[in-house]
Structure 1
Amino acid sequence: MSNSISVVDTPIDSQEHRRTQTKKRLIPLWLLIPALIAILVSFVIPLIVLVRMSFNETGPATTLVQAWSLSTYTRAILDPYYWQVIFNTLKLGLVVSVITIVLSYPIALFLTKTNSKWKGFLFALAIGPLLTSQIARTFGWIALLGNEGAVNSALLKIGLIDTPLQLSNNFAGTVIALVEVLMPYALLGMISGFSRVSTELELAAGVLGANPLVRFWRITLPLSLPGVFTGFLLVFVLTISSFVTPHLLGGGRVHVLATEIYDEATQTLDWPLAASLAVLLLILFGILVSAYQALTKKLGA
Structure 2
Amino acid sequence: MATLEDGRPGAAPWLLSGPALLLFVGLLLVPLLLTLMLSFRVFSDTAGVTSAYTLTNYWEVVSDPYYGTIFLRTAGLAFAVTLLSIVLGVPETIVLARMKRPWQSLCLLIVLGPLLISVVVRTLGWQILLGNNGVLNNLLQSLHITSEPIRLVFTMTGMIIALTHVLVPFMVMSVWATMQKLDPQVEWAGRSLGGSPFAVFRRVVLPQIMPGVLSGSIIVFALSASAFATPALIGGRRLKVVATAAYDEFLGTLNWPLGASIAVLLLIANVAIVMGCSRLAERRFRHIFD
How do 1:64-143 and structure 2 match up within 5 A? Answer: 64-143=49-128
SS in 2 for 1:169: coil
Aligned to 2:203: 218
Which consecutive residues of structure 2, in runs of 5 or more, have no partner in the other structure?
none
Kindly tell me: are residues 273 and 114 of structure 1, through their superposed partners in 2, closer, same or farther at Cα, counting changes over 3 Å? same
SS in 1 for 2:231: helix
Q: Does 1:300 align with 2:286?
A: yes
Aligned to 1:31: 16
Q: Distance in 2 between matches of 1:185 and 1:256?
A: 21
Letter paired with 1:101: I
Letter paired with 1:123: L
Q: Does 1:158 align with 2:143?
A: yes
User: By how many angstroms is 1:21 displaced?
Assistant: 7.3
Q: Does 1:243 align with 2:228?
A: yes
CA RMSD of aligned residues (A): 2.0
Q: Does 1:258 align with 2:255?
A: no
User: By how many angstroms is 1:158 displaced?
Assistant: 1.2
Contact 2:35 2:260 in 1 (8 A): yes
Kindly tell me: are residues 210 and 96 of structure 1, through their superposed partners in 2, closer, same or farther at Cα, counting changes over 3 Å? same
Letter paired with 2:286: G
Kindly tell me: are residues 118 and 63 of structure 1, through their superposed partners in 2, closer, same or farther at Cα, counting changes over 3 Å? same
Which consecutive residues of structure 1, in runs of 5 or more, have no partner in the other structure?
1-15
Contact 2:225 2:270 in 1 (8 A): no
User: By how many angstroms is 1:226 displaced?
Assistant: 0.8
Q: Distance in 1 between matches of 2:145 and 2:162?
A: 22
Q: Normalising by structure 2, what TM-score?
A: 0.93
Letter paired with 2:59: T
> Which sits farther off after the overlay, 25-34 or 224-233?
25-34
Residues 198-226 of structure 1: CA deviation (Å, up to 9, x unaligned):
32221111111011111111111111111
Kindly tell me: are residues 93 and 23 of structure 1, through their superposed partners in 2, closer, same or farther at Cα, counting changes over 3 Å? closer
User: By how many angstroms is 1:132 displaced?
Assistant: 0.5
Aligned to 1:8: none
Letter paired with 1:235: V
2:158 to 173, 191, 197: 173
Letter paired with 1:300: R
Q: Normalising by structure 1, what TM-score?
A: 0.90
Aligned to 2:216: 231
Q: Distance in 1 between matches of 2:242 and 2:52?
A: 24
Percent of aligned pairs with the same residue?
A: 33
SS in 2 for 1:67: strand
Q: Distance in 2 between matches of 1:191 and 1:288?
A: 23
Which 4+ runs in 1 deviate beyond 4 A?
16-24
How many residues align? The count is 286
1:279 to 257, 264, 275: 264
Contact 1:108 1:191 in 2 (8 A): yes
User: By how many angstroms is 1:194 displaced?
Assistant: 2.9
Kindly tell me: are residues 153 and 56 of structure 1, through their superposed partners in 2, closer, same or farther at Cα, counting changes over 3 Å? same
Q: Distance in 2 between matches of 1:193 and 1:230?
A: 10
Contact 2:171 2:216 in 1 (8 A): yes
Contact 2:2 2:9 in 1 (8 A): no
Aligned to 1:4: none
User: By how many angstroms is 1:297 displaced?
Assistant: 1.4
Kindly tell me: are residues 17 and 147 of structure 1, through their superposed partners in 2, closer, same or farther at Cα, counting changes over 3 Å? closer
User: By how many angstroms is 1:170 displaced?
Assistant: 1.1
Q: Distance in 1 between matches of 2:4 and 2:192?
A: 61
